[in-house]
Structure 1
Amino acid sequence: MDLRQLVRDVPDFPKPGILFRDLTPLMRDPRSWQEVIRQLEEVCERLQPDLIVGIESRGFIVGMALATQVALGFVPVRKPGKLPGSVTGVDYALEYGTDRLEIISDALEGGPRVMVVDDLLATGGTAAACAELVEAAGGKLCGFGFVAELAALEGRRRLPEEHPVESLIIYT
C-alpha cells in the first residue's frame, strides 16, 4: 500500500512558499491508518520500548493509536501550562525565538525505554527537544517513529545519532 498517495499537498500553507504535507486524508482512511499503525508496530518490535511518548499535538494521535495497538502505556509531551502537577521542562530554539516542552515529572519513573513518535519530522528541533526531555525526566530513549519526514530539511541530523529514526514516508 502506497501511503504517500493519501497525503495531500497544500501549497502556500501556512504561508506563501510552504508546501504543507497534510496527513488528515491518510488518517481518515481506516485501511491506510491501520497500515500506518502496523508499520509503526514493526518499528516498536525492533526498538522494544516500554512506553510511547507522543509530541503535542498530532503525536498524540499517532502515539495513542500505536500504544493501544502494542499494549504499552502512552505519555504526552506538551507545551507549557498544559499538564497538571509537577513537570519537567526543556526550552529549545525555533527559527525565530524559543519554545518549551514539558512532561509530568514522574511519568518516566524507573527509567523505562521510550520511543518518541510524531506525525512529521521536519527541521527536527521539537523532536530533539523531546529526546532531551525524555532523558531529563529519567527515561532511556530507544528511538523515534514518524509517519512522514521532509528529508530536505535535514531534521534527522538534529536527533541523537545513537538512536534509530524510522519514517514511513520520506519526501526528498
Structure 2
Amino acid sequence: MLAAENGRDPRLKAISDAIRVVPHFPKPGIMFHDITTLLLDHKAFKDTVDLFVERYRDMGISIVVGIEARGFIFGPSIALGIGAKFVPLRKPGKLPGRVISESYELEYGTDQLEMHVGAVQPGERTIIIDDLVATGGTLSAAIRLLG
C-alpha cells in the first residue's frame, strides 16, 4: 500500500526534487528534465522504481520494454520487481540475430528502433519505459513494433 499524505504519495516530491531542470537544453525554449541527477540519489532512484513496481505488479504485465538508452536504466529493475521479462528496443545494428524495425520522425530527421524477432508473443501485456516524450515519435514506433 502506498503511503499517502493528502492523497499524494510523499515520495513524489523527493523524486521531483531530485530531477534537475536545465533551461534551454538542447535548444532555446526547452526546459529539459535531467534524470541523471535522480540516479545520483539512491533513495529517490529506488522510490521511482518502487512506485512503478507497486503500480504494475498486479496488472498481469508479462513484458517491460525499454527504449534505448534510458529505458534500459529503469526497465530491467521494474521487470524484475513485477516478475516480467525485459525486452530492449535498440537503435539500428545494435542487436545480433534477426530483428524487426520501425522508422519514426524526430524533430531533426528520422531514426529507427529494432527488436528481436519473437521477443514478444501475441497476447502478452506490455508496458513501455522511456525517459521522455518530445514529439511522441519514438513511443509511436515502439507501439507499432509491439503490434
Could you say which residue in structure 2 is the equivalent of 1:20? 32
**Structure 1: tracts of 5 or more residues without a match:** 136-172
Give the TM-score of the pair, scaled to structure 2: 0.84
Q: What secondary structure, in the 3-state scheme, does the structure 1 residue paired with 2:72 have?
A: helix
Matched residue SS, 2:93: coil
Does the CA-based 8 Å contact 2:57-2:81 persist in structure 1?
Answer: no
Give the TM-score normalised by the residue count of structure 1. Answer: 0.72
Query: How far did residue 86 of structure 1 move?
Result: 0.5
Asked if the contact 2:106–2:135 (Cα under 8 Å) also holds between the matched residues in 1, the reply is no
Q: CA deviation at 1:43?
A: 2.6
Asked whether 1:113 is paired with 2:141, we answer no
Question: How many residues matched?
Answer: 135
Quick check: 110-119 or 82-91, which moved more? 110-119
CA RMSD of aligned residues (A): 1.6
* Aligned ranges 1:13-162 → 2 under 5 Å: 13-45=25-57, 47-109=59-121, 111-135=123-147
Query: Between Structure 1 and Structure 2, which shows a larger proportion of strand residues?
Result: 1
- Which range moves more in the overlay, 38-47 or 94-103? 38-47
Contact 1:37–1:66 (CA under 8 A) maintained in structure 2 = yes
Partners of 2:122 and 2:145 lie apart in 1 by 15
Identity %: 44
Contact 1:47/1:115 (8 A) holds in 2: no
Determine the C-alpha separation between the residues in 2 that align with 1:113 and 1:126: 19
> 1:100-150: CA deviations, max 9, x gaps?
111001111354221111122332211111011111xxxxxxxxxxxxxxx
* Structure 1 residues 64-118: Cα deviation after superposition (integer angstroms, max 9, x where no partner): 1111222321110011111001001111122232211110011113542211111
Secondary structure of 1:121 counterpart = coil
